[in-house]
Amino acid sequence: MIELTDFEKIEIKIGTVTEAEKVERSEKLIKLTIDFGSEQRTIVTAMAQYYEPEHFTGKQMPFIMNLKPRKFLGIESQGMIMAADIDGKPILIHLEKEVPNGTMIR
């Protein structure tokens, strides 16, 4: 079990994917450009074997914002997309209705 203060350390915001493209030299990686209202970020996800890049474009989804950046094939990923995991396959999380980009998850 974790304390509420542990959970409060995780910054989760809603963003809209404005661009998505496969990463060259990779069969697994997709580079996403996310609009968070006050900023845009690049986030790399290893979901290319499950989803085409077009599947992400225009969708609002939750992202973890305060992870240490990590490079994938020279592309800096500035966060992480959140998804459910069913038998190792990611299932994307969608909102019931549209909210402003940058909305915090609490």
What is the percent of the chain with per-residue pLDDT over 70, rounded to a whole number? 100
pTM, full prediction: 0.93
Binned at pLDDT 50, 70 and 90, residue 67 comes out as very high
Specify the pLDDT at position 106: 87
Contacts 24+ apart (CB under 8 A), 67-76: 72/23, 72/26, 72/29, 72/44, 73/23, 73/24, 73/25, 73/26, 73/29, 75/23, 75/29, 75/31, 75/42, 75/44, 76/42
Residues ≥6 apart with Cβ < 8 Å to 7: none
Domain 4-92, CATH number (from 2.40.50.140, 3.40.640.10, 3.40.50.1970, 3.90.180.10)? 2.40.50.140
pLDDT at 75 over 90: yes
Domain boundaries defined on the chain: 4-92
Specify the pLDDT at position 99: 97
